[in-house]
Amino acid sequence: MVFKLACGDVMPGCTAHFENTDRDQLLGAVAAHAAADHGITTITPDVLAAVEGKISREPVGA
């Protein structure tokens, strides 16, 4: 299983895409990107919920 997130689904206009077979690592990468590119240094429960709601799961190799 690979977890995927298009940042643009949460932050309209952003073209960054993330994918990782480890969900926690995916969220870590997204958090680092949000801080670096969006100035979001505090991931609030609302932001986390929005991000988690946009994560898709696909079989590896799809």
Contact positions vs Zn ion (CB under 5 A) = 7, 11, 14, 16
User: Could you report how far apart the first and last alpha carbons of the chain are, in Å?
Assistant: 9
- CA-based nearest residue to 11, from 38, 32, 35, 41: 38
Nearest approach, Cβ of 34 to Zn ion (angstroms)? Answer: 7
Q: Of the two residues 7 and 51, which places its CB atom closer to Zn ion in the complex?
A: 7
Q: Of the two residues 7 and 27, which places its CB atom closer to Zn ion in the complex?
A: 7
Q: Of the two residues 39 and 45, which places its CB atom closer to Zn ion in the complex?
A: 39
